[in-house]
């Protein structure tokens, strides 16, 4: 009987719980047992982990999970490779628990650790892609993206009525880190008048002249979606503070406020900013995140069954596939500006329509 560990790391999002449910159910079918590891990699480098960080999971424990957002296992941004001692603890704890394999559900950092664990120790590991940023390579989908896009759409819908009443410009700041997928697709389905993404630096004079043109042509209000990683030409990203996490990431945020002030100054039009922040990661999973979580979770255990380790389950051309974990985390999947972004109007490229790439 195999013993599988499952953990969720990095920023939480809807879709994690459905994936945990499927891992447990599929493992049960194969008569494997599942240990839930709490708080991501942190749960494997602490002392007394059996008492505080390990939970045996049975199908009964996960029965209703597909409806729930967040992660019942908790999460953290812990890098066990940050020091020799935490790395040793990780290996020791994995051995002590008698884990035969691990399913790691996460983004570039959590899966980066998984790739390293596989490469350095040949430990049997399979990854499941999750991040609202949708920036992992080698997959057309990452859990959480759809729910976050839906949230952006709903919030823009709300902002629209007050924007129209007051004839204001609204800047809506989204997450996404260095990738603009979330802003681009959220802005598309929310009907934004302008979308600014990290992959293409914006020119503030151009932003203002496009907005003034819209006003002249009769628009009573405008919605500008800006990704937290977007920045004006020749400037740095706007940061929330100077701290970096254990993986060396800065905390982005504040470009929306900056932009609102610059727009009001440059256009003379009343402008407000709304930062969607963690609302985008909250709430129940969308239909798609439930389905994808269930597909990915079951496929990850199947990969373990066939001993396909060092892989990440992925979706390519509407089919579940297995790709190399290392390739998935080697470089970020960013917006293809040439293909998908209209740099003249700062919005989604309208053409070509036939044969165009479709964001899942
Ligand atoms: O990577 C997911 C993400 O939501 C990013 O879009 C965002 O920059 C970051 O996490 C926020 O992290 P935290 O939850 O630590 O504030």
pLDDT value for 47: 87
Q: Which of 190, 360, 192 is nearest to 286 (CA)?
A: 360
Look at the block and give the residue holding tokens 């400037």: 235
Read off the tokens for 197. 């993404």
Please indicate whether residue 177, judged by its CB atom, sits closer than 6 Å to ligand 1.
Answer: yes
Please indicate whether residue 132, judged by its CB atom, sits closer than 6 Å to ligand 1.
Answer: yes
Do the first three CATH levels of 3-143+285-330 and 148-281 match, i.e. the same topology? yes
Q: Which of 137, 43, 89, 67 is nearest to 331 (CA)?
A: 137
281 alpha carbon to ligand 1 midpoint, in Å? 9
Please indicate whether residue 70, judged by its CB atom, sits closer than 6 Å to ligand 1.
Answer: no
349 alpha carbon to ligand 1 midpoint, in Å? 27
Report the nearest atom of ligand 1 relative to the CA of 253: 8
Burial of 252 by CB count in 10 Å (0-12 exposed, 13-18 middle, 19+ buried)? Answer: buried
Contact 134, 333 (CB under 8 A): yes
Burial of 270 by CB count in 10 Å (0-12 exposed, 13-18 middle, 19+ buried)? Answer: middle
133 counts as catalytic? yes
Interior angle at CA 256, CA 250 and CA 260, nearest 5: 150
pLDDT over threshold 90, residue 1:
no
Report the nearest atom of ligand 1 relative to the CA of 182: 6
Q: Which residues contact 60 (CB under 8 A, 6 or more apart)?
A: none
Would you kindly state where each structural domain of the chain is located, as residue ranges? 3-143+285-330, 148-281
Please indicate whether residue 138, judged by its CB atom, sits closer than 6 Å to ligand 1.
Answer: no
Burial of 172 by CB count in 10 Å (0-12 exposed, 13-18 middle, 19+ buried)? Answer: buried
Please indicate whether residue 175, judged by its CB atom, sits closer than 6 Å to ligand 1.
Answer: yes
pLDDT by residue (tens digit) across 197-208? 999 999 999 999
Q: How many CB atoms lie within 10 A of CB 167?
A: 13
Query: How many Å apart are CA 291 and CA 18, to the nearest integer?
Result: 8
Report the nearest atom of ligand 1 relative to the CA of 251: 8
Please indicate whether residue 11, judged by its CB atom, sits closer than 6 Å to ligand 1.
Answer: yes
250 alpha carbon to ligand 1 midpoint, in Å? 10
- Beta bridge mates, 226: 173, 196
- Residue 349 CA: distances (Å) to CA of 180, 279, 313, 335: 14, 27, 30, 12
Query: How many Å apart are CA 210 and CA 87, to the nearest integer?
Result: 52
Catalytic residue among 12, 66, 109, 133: 133
pLDDT value for 82: 97
pLDDT value for 360: 78
Query: How many Å apart are CA 33 and CA 120, to the nearest integer?
Result: 25
pLDDT by residue (tens digit) across 270-316? 999 999 999 999 999 999 999 999 999 999 999 999 999 999 999 99
Quick one: pLDDT band at residue 60, thresholds 50, 70, 90?
A: very high
Q: Which residues contact 133 (CB under 8 A, 6 or more apart)?
A: 107, 142, 145, 175, 176, 177, 179, 181, 182
Q: Which of 4, 357, 9, 5 is nearest to 184 (CA)?
A: 357
293 alpha carbon to ligand 1 midpoint, in Å? 20
Residue nearest to atom 8 of ligand 1 (CA): 177
Mean pLDDT of 154-166: 98
Mean pLDDT of 215-241: 97
Read off the tokens for 229. 């990683």
251 alpha carbon to ligand 1 midpoint, in Å? 8
Please indicate whether residue 131, judged by its CB atom, sits closer than 6 Å to ligand 1.
Answer: yes
Residue nearest to atom 15 of ligand 1 (CA): 11
Query: How many Å apart are CA 189 and CA 160, to the nearest integer?
Result: 13
Q: How many CB atoms lie within 10 A of CB 56?
A: 11
- HSE-CB at 43 with a 13 A cutoff on CA atoms is 26
Q: Is 227 helix (H, G, I), strand (E, B) or coil?
A: strand
5 alpha carbon to ligand 1 midpoint, in Å? 25
Mean pLDDT of 41-61: 95
Share of the chain above pLDDT 70, in %: 100
Domain at 148-281, CATH homologous superfamily: Phosphofructokinase domain (3.40.50.460)
1 or 80, which is more confident: 80
What are the backbone dihedrals phi and psi of residue 32, each rounded to the nearest 5 degrees, phi first?
-95, 155
Mean pLDDT of 171-198: 98
**Which of 110, 144, 147, 177 is the pocket-test mutation for ligand 1 (most atoms within 8 Å of CB)?**
177
Q: Which of 104, 158, 154, 150 is nearest to 129 (CA)?
A: 104
- HSE-CB at 88 with a 13 A cutoff on CA atoms is 3
| CATH code reported for the domain at 3-143+285-330 | 3.40.50.450
Share of the chain above pLDDT 90, in %: 97
pLDDT value for 261: 98
């Amino acid at each position: 009987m195999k013993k599988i560990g499952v953990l969720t790391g990095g920023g939480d999002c809807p879709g994690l719980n459905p994936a945990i449910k499927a891992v447990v159910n599929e493992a049960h079918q194969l008569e494997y047992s599942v240990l839930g590891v709490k708080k991501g990699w942190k749960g494997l480098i602490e002392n007394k982990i059996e008492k505080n960080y390990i939970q045996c999971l049975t199908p009964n424990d996960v029965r209703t999970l597909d409806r729930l957002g967040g992660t019942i296992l908790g999460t953290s941004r812990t890098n066990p490779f940050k020091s020799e001692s935490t790395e040793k603890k990780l290996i020791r704890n994995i051995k002590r628990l008698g884990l035969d394999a691990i399913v790691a559900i996460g983004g570039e950092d959590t899966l980066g650790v998984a790739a390293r664990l596989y490469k350095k120790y040949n430990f049997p590991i399979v990854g499941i892609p999750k991040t609202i940023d949708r920036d992992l390579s080698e997959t057309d989908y990452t859990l959480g993206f759809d729910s976050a896009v839906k949230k952006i759409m709903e919030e823009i819908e709300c902002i629209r009525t007050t924007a129209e009443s007051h004839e204001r410009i609204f800047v809506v700041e989204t997450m996404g880190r260095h990738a603009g997928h979330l802003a681009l697709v959220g802005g598309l389905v929310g009907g934004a008048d302008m979308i600014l993404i990290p992959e293409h630096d914006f020119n503030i004079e151009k932003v203002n002249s496009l907005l003034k043109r819209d006003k002249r042509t009769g628009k009573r209000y405008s919605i500008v979606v800006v990704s937290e990683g977007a920045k004006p030409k020749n400037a740095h990203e706007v940061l929330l503070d100077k701290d970096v996490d254990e993986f060396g990431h800065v905390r982005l945020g504040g470009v929306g406020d900056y932009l609102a002030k610059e727009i009001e100054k440059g256009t003379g039009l009343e402008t407000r900013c709304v930062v969607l922040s963690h609302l985008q990661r909250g709430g129940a999973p969308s239909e798609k995140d439930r389905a994808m979580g269930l597909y990915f979770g079951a496929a990850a255990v199947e990969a373990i069954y066939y001993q396909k380790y060092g892989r990440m389950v992925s979706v390519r051309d509407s089919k579940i596939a297995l790709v190399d974990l290392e390739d998935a985390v080697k470089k970020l999947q960013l917006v293809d500006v040439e293909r998908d972004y209209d740099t003249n109007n700062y919005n989604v490229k309208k053409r070509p329509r036939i044969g165009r790439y479709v964001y899942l």
